[in-house]
Amino acid sequence: MSLEAKSALVTGGSRGIGKAIALSFAREGCMVAVNHNKNKEKAEMIVNDIRRKLGRKAIAIKGDVSKRKDVETMFKQVIDAFGKIDILVNNAGIYVPSPILETTDEVWNVTLGVNLKGVFMCIREAARYMVPRKYGKIINISSNSGFGVALWGDTSYAVSKAGVIQLTKNAAFELGRYGINVNCVAPGAVDTDMLKGDLDKGGYRKFIESRKEVSSLGKIGRPEDIANTVLFFASDASNYVTGKTLLVDGGRRDYL
């Protein structure tokens, strides 16, 4: 699944799943733009690792995917640095747990702004560069929360991630005639810093054990597990696959 001489933008690439994706791409020969909004130091550390340890071109790009001007600037920086954009990974996302009666307009708008509107705007901007070249790979990161199992306090997040799944289908249908593949990866529970930050120590351990119990494999995922799946969709091994969403959740039993 070589990505030799390809170029990619990974949104939310400074930590967790995004970091694993950026590093996996670089190992396969890809030039990588690591997007961040607030984690400049972490993004630059990843870029330095890619340059020094893997010998690949890499840049860090600041930008809020929910803001159109930021999105336009991000892609211009990728083109300036690499001359083209072959692969887009829409990984940036936020999670603000909140029951419906406690969900403010701001929480709803921010969640859908990043998780859904941001994905749409990045797809639209990437397509403007990919269509003339008749080539592109777009991979969206959703969640198993987008598959219709209701969880307490999960409404705004789940709705945004369900929207990403449908957006993937529509974008694949419209962009397929231009040689652009659009697919989606829906992770289950993955052990990341973001997850640890959202839960206190006791809550974190309880959450991990609860997810192990519903996993057919009896475990939760690692960021590398998701990165390996994204790598398939980014490579030419997936040239005849588009509009699909793949659950990567250890065989969560209530989804089988």
Tell whether the torsion through CA atoms of 44, 230, 219 and 203 is positive or negative. Answer: positive
Q: How far apart are CA 97 and CA 177, in angstroms?
A: 39
Pseudo-torsion of CA 153, 159, 165, 166, nearest 10°?
Answer: 160
Among 95, 129, 135, 157, the one annotated catalytic: 157
How is residue 80 written in tokens?
A: 């300036």
Residue 204 a catalytic site member:
no
Beta strand spans in 76-142 (E): 87-90, 136-141
* Residues in contact with 86: Cβ distance below 8 Å, sequence separation at least 6, in sequence order: 6, 7, 8, 130, 135, 136, 137
Which among 145, 183, 148 is positioned nearest to 167, based on CA atoms? 183
Active site members: 157
